[in-house]
Amino acid sequence: PGPKQAKKWKSLTPAEKEPYIKQSDQLQKDFDRWKEVIAKDGRLQKIEALEAKLKDDLKALTHDKPKNPQGAVSYYYWMQSKNRKLKNMKDAKEEWKNMSNGERQPYEDIRKEKLKELNEWKEKMKNTARYKEIQAVRSALRMFHGIPTNQKQKWKSKQA
């Protein structure tokens, strides 16, 4: 869910949220029951092994992919350059907040360079067979995450 959905959810009254919460609870119960059944008959171990293999495949396919610089990454580059320790996080955050844009610019430049590297890698990969394989593995991994339980159960029962 994105920011629009979050805003809409927050605007709902508890009474309006109730059917969604009930549906979510029921789906979770169904999923838990289904997971117990497949754990007993051995399918869960096969599914977990397949998921682990897909994750390994994805890691191998994307071994040279630059890391994605997200969020406040320029802050983290600054932290690395200062060799800060976790015990100093509060002081470091305060120091970062008090820095001028000019002082932050070198770290923002690092973030932009990392983002440029990532975008260049993606563009270079776009029309390759390897990219299509990466997309296929990601799609298969999504079968394990983010699918409503009833769809996941239908898919699993077809595979059994």
Give me the tens of pLDDT residue by residue for the chain, a chain 160 residues long.
578 888 899 999 999 999 999 999 999 999 889 888 888 998 888 888 888 999 999 899 888 888 777 655 787 787 777 666 556 677 788 888 898 999 889 888 988 888 898 889 889 888 899 988 988 888 888 877 654 434 444 444 444 4
**Which letter does DSSP use for residue 63 in this model?**
T
Pair 138, 82: CB distance under 8 Å: no
- CA–CA dist 124, 130 (Å, integer): 11
